[in-house]
């Protein structure tokens, strides 16, 4: 199918924006020694205090094995502590260490900076006009609001 001007495939624009956003996040977070996936976990823990590994996976749409590998690495890096739930030995509870709290603050500052840059290009009306259709696209592609 051929497209003219405003009829160009939106998918390509979304893919390009996604790549640019991921590149910026990886680069800037990398300066603080944090991986993008870790940043999402750190910020979620900062907001909630403690979460189970299952809550992290379900809330951030991350596969259980990926969560396990990620939090093990984060524990080795002393960003988080893991402990078994005293009522259910199968449940692992994750909390931030003091180093993790600092990393979470850094990650949140990076995310806020990029959010501010994006919003600086748009009026409040444009932001409100964009939000519903973008959420609709996300939902059409099988996504949903992060649970945490």
Residue with tokens 């996300």: 138
- pLDDT of res. 77: 96
134 part of a folded domain: no
**CA 73 – CA 31 distance, rounded (Å):** 18
129 part of a folded domain: no
79 part of a folded domain: yes
Question: What DSSP string runs through 32-74?
Answer: TT--HHHHHHHHHHHHHSEEEHHHHHHHHT--HHHHHHHHHHH
Element (H, E) at 112: helix 98-120
- Quote the Cα angle for 145-78-108, to 5°: 35
57 part of a folded domain: yes
Q: How is residue 129 written in tokens?
A: 């006009």
- pLDDT of res. 2: 60
- The domain tally of the chain equals 1
- pLDDT of res. 90: 92
Per run of 10 residues, the mean pLDDT along the chain (length 148 residues) is 71 94 96 93 97 95 95 97 94 97 98 96 95 94 85
Q: What is the CATH number of the domain that holds 57?
A: 1.10.10.10
Cβ atoms 34, 107 nearer than 8 A: yes
What residue numbers bound the domain in which 90 lies?
Answer: 29-112
18 part of a folded domain: no
- pLDDT of res. 32: 93
146 part of a folded domain: no
Other Cβ atoms within 10 Å of 39 Cβ, number:
22
Q: How is residue 44 written in tokens?
A: 């979620």
- pLDDT of res. 116: 97
């Amino acid at each position: 199918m051929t497209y003219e001007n405003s009829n160009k495939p939106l998918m390509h624009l979304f893919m390009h924006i996604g790549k640019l956003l991921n590149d910026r996040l990886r680069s800037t977070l990398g300066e603080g020694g944090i991986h993008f996936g870790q940043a999402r976990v750190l910020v979620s823990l900062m907001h909630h205090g403690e979460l189970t590994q299952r809550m992290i996976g379900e809330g951030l749409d991350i596969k259980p094995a990926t969560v396990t590998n990620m939090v093990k690495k984060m524990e080795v890096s002393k960003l988080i502590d893991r402990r078994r739930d005293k009522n259910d030995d199968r449940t692992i509870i994750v909390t931030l260490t003091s180093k993790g709290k600092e990393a979470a603050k850094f990650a949140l500052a990076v995310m806020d900076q990029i959010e501010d840059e994006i919003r600086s290009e748009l009026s409040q009306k444009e932001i409100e006009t964009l939000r519903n259709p973008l959420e609709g696209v996300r939902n059409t592609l099988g996504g949903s609001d992060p649970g945490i």
